[in-house]
A and B are shown apart, each in its own frame.
Chain A
């Protein structure tokens, strides 16, 4: 019975299709993670501003994105934009936009909290030895912020990778959907394919997220020495 299930994985181009699906997942997540990190760092710096208007606007943005389920955001961008402006965004572009909007908000808040967690005397010591404000950022704040940022940023990255499984609802066939297609196509003949396919997908996700964790560990160690 057990060897029946794994057979499905190697029927036709099934395994290749799973990998293609994984590539869709990976390239959407990597692109949106990169954009989120870049924009999030900028947003985080802006969020530390004392200006009440800036504070309010960024706060509303953050809370809006946090409160809204990602699926609702996906539907708003994919279907809502077409309805409102008659503009057709394809599923992948919509996903990229939504994940970047979401990632930027979350990343921004992480950067903000990392920056304000740097003790006040660090900045003051910098001023005392005659550094100007951009030098203080360059040499004092940013290096310390980066170290504190790694664990939560990695957490966000892996969360984003896993949340991409929602994009099937806007027609993007990613790894999980390919898995379901394979299960369904064989469910009359190989009913126990489910476990094998989901098991394989588990490992695919694992081997996508694991290297990211390893990289994080490496960076943390390296930057701590400095």
Chain B
């Protein structure tokens, strides 16, 4: 009996501790405005912290010499250069990008961050510098050409990506197999643990070119989304600075150069540059 009481007490105390934690988190959400750094603060600190992907070639990855490379990185370097500060890369995962901004652990996220309404509520986006839609890649022997063909089948997605939310909302009959890492997701497709894989079309197009036996059956679905730098909610000065930067970079067609340097070696010259690159923040 005594033992039982002790266990009961433990459970109750444990539960109240958990509840206590939860409510604490909820109450501080409102008071977290001052966690970000303004442009002046970044400049005087001498370092800008930019959250990037370290394993998403060709947008953000680390080459064999340990150097960050890619389309996002090319832009990140330019931002740091024009701010006149050192660049500190922070390696982020798709699912943790928002938290990094909310807590001000990075100043900017430049990690292939697709603009969505849900995300707009928690972070502030600057002008876009790229656009994408969703694509679906599957084995050529059992090519998926329309999303309806996926009903009852298994689709591989990466947690926290647009593909995950899009299929959950619009195709509830598709079984989703979710992974934390891109590397694991692609390996699952190769191993046949799913019938197809969906993520941004840029991504699956590039992957299919390099992996014989796989093809992109759906090149464009879902909405055409834009990709933009994101800053902590309320960081107006930094957002404005990036907006102006993107507008002024249009004069030198910066993102076309970026494409040539980082994306063309991967996609080949068959891809229409203007279907991916956005100059001056203007999406037609």
A interface residue numbers (CB < 8 A to B) = 8, 11-14, 17, 52, 55-56, 59-60, 63-64, 67, 75-76, 79-80, 82-84, 86, 88, 168-171, 173, 177, 180-189, 191, 194
A63→B186 CA distance, assembly (Å): 37
- What is the CA–CA distance of A182 and B63 in the complex, to the nearest angstrom? 7
Tell me if B24 and A84 are in contact (CB < 8 A): yes
Residues of A within 8 A of B66 (CB): 12-13, 17
B residues 99-118 near A (Cβ < 8 Å) are 99-100, 102-105
| Complex: chain B residue closest to A59, CB-CB | B10
Of the candidates B13, B28, B32, B210, which one forms a contact with A191 in the assembled complex, judged by CB atoms under 8 Å apart?
A: B210
Q: How far is the CA of A84 from the CA of B26 in the complex (A)?
A: 10
Main SS of chain B's interface residues? Answer: helix
Residue of B nearest to A52 (CB): B6
Knowing A56-B6, A59-B6, A170-B96, say if A177 contacts B24 (CB, 8 Å).
no
Residue from A60, A169, A189 in contact with B13 in the complex, judged by beta carbons closer than 8 Å: A60
The answer to whether the Cβ of B269 comes within 8 Å of any Cβ in the partner chain is no
Across the two chains, which residue of chain A brings its CB closest to B266?
A188
Interface-forming stretch among B53-61, B128-136, B233-241, B247-255? B53-61
Q: Does B21 contact A (CB under 8 A)?
A: yes
B35, B62, B211: which contacts A181 (Cβ < 8 A)?
A: B62
Q: A182 to chain B: which residues have CB within 8 Å?
A: 62, 64
Identify whether the interface residues of A are mostly helix, strand, loop, or mixed: helix
- Say yes or no: is B75 at the interface (Cβ < 8 Å to chain A): no
Task: Output the least CB separation between A62 and chain B (Å).
Answer: 9
- In the complex, what distance in Å separates the CA atom of A86 from the CA atom of B102? 11
* A188–B57 CB distance below 8 A: yes
User: Is residue B65 within 8 Å, beta carbon to beta carbon, of the partner chain?
Assistant: yes
Taking CB atoms, residues of chain A closer than 8 Å to B18 are: 64
Residue B182 is within 8 A (CB to CB) of chain A in the complex: yes
B106–chain A nearest beta-carbon distance, Å: 9
How far is it, in angstroms, between the C-alpha of A83 and the C-alpha of B95 when the chains are bound? 18
Give the distance in Å from the alpha carbon of A88 to the alpha carbon of B37 in the complex. Answer: 13
Q: Does B34 contact A (CB under 8 A)?
A: yes
Known contacts A13-B65, A64-B17; A184/B56 CB under 8 A = yes
CB-defined contacts of A180 to chain B, threshold 8 Å: 55, 181, 183
Given contacts A8-B64, A60-B17, 14 further A-B contacts (CB under 8 A): A12-B63, A12-B65, A12-B66, A13-B66, A17-B66, A55-B6, A82-B35, A82-B104, A83-B32, A86-B34, A171-B92, A185-B61, A187-B57, A188-B207
